[in-house]
Amino acid sequence: MVVPTQLTARGALTRSRIVTTAARLMRVQGVAGTTLDDVVSESKVSKSQLYGHFDDKRALIRAVIDLVGDRTITRERESLEQVTTFDGLQRWRDELIERNAVDDGRYGCALGSLANEVADHDSLARAKLDDLFTAWHQLFEALLLRFRQDAVIPADADVARLATALLAAVQGGYLLAQTARDVTPMATAIDLAIEHLRLLGGGRQTPEKSEKKEDSP
């Protein structure tokens, strides 16, 4: 077992390069299709360096989950915390679809793909993934609480259930886009989830707010 120690600056850079490389390979090749030899070769480290940081592939996968999860939740937090109107929600939707369209939806959601491959085989990895999806759910729930507070949706709207529906639309949309090599099904799934929210709000457009952005003087 690798005993955690205080890494030197050089050691931290080596570890970061290993994890970043592994994340990229697993994104394209899948977890099962990525070997430790692949990671060693692509990250240009020795096997002894890799094993100096990770006991085995399972430990490396957990580190990849941490990296991908941090990237995903940070990006979604930066986007979703700005949303206070349907126009803002539409912009979030457009950005999400545009990012996935770069590869024609080929690789799905980085976090969702990891969950599909490892959740049934590693309880610690599954717990990490569950925490990350819970954090994503909470971002949607906070957004919907703002909508409810501002009367964008009814005061009795069940924001927890609606947040689950939004997250499911995103993840299901990613999967459909991945199999179709086309982001259209993903766009449709998210559009219908947003349309449901609009109908809850009476189908009306809400006045545009600042979305935490200031006009130039």
What is the tens place of the pLDDT at every residue in 151-170? 999 999 999 999 999 999 99
Supply angle C-alpha 59, 17, 58, rounded to 5: 10
**Helix-strand-coil split of the chain, %, nearest 5:** 70, 0, 30
pLDDT value of position 6: 74
User: Which residue range(s) make up the domain with 193?
Assistant: 66-200
Structural domains counted in the chain: 2
CA–CA separation, 95 vs 180, rounded Å? Answer: 20
**CATH number of 190's domain:** 1.10.357.10
Is the pLDDT confidence value at 215 over 60?
no
| pTM > 0.75 | yes
Q: Is residue 212 part of a domain?
A: no
Co-location of 13 and 98 in the same domain: no
Give the confidence band of 7 by pLDDT, cuts at 50, 70, 90.
Answer: confident
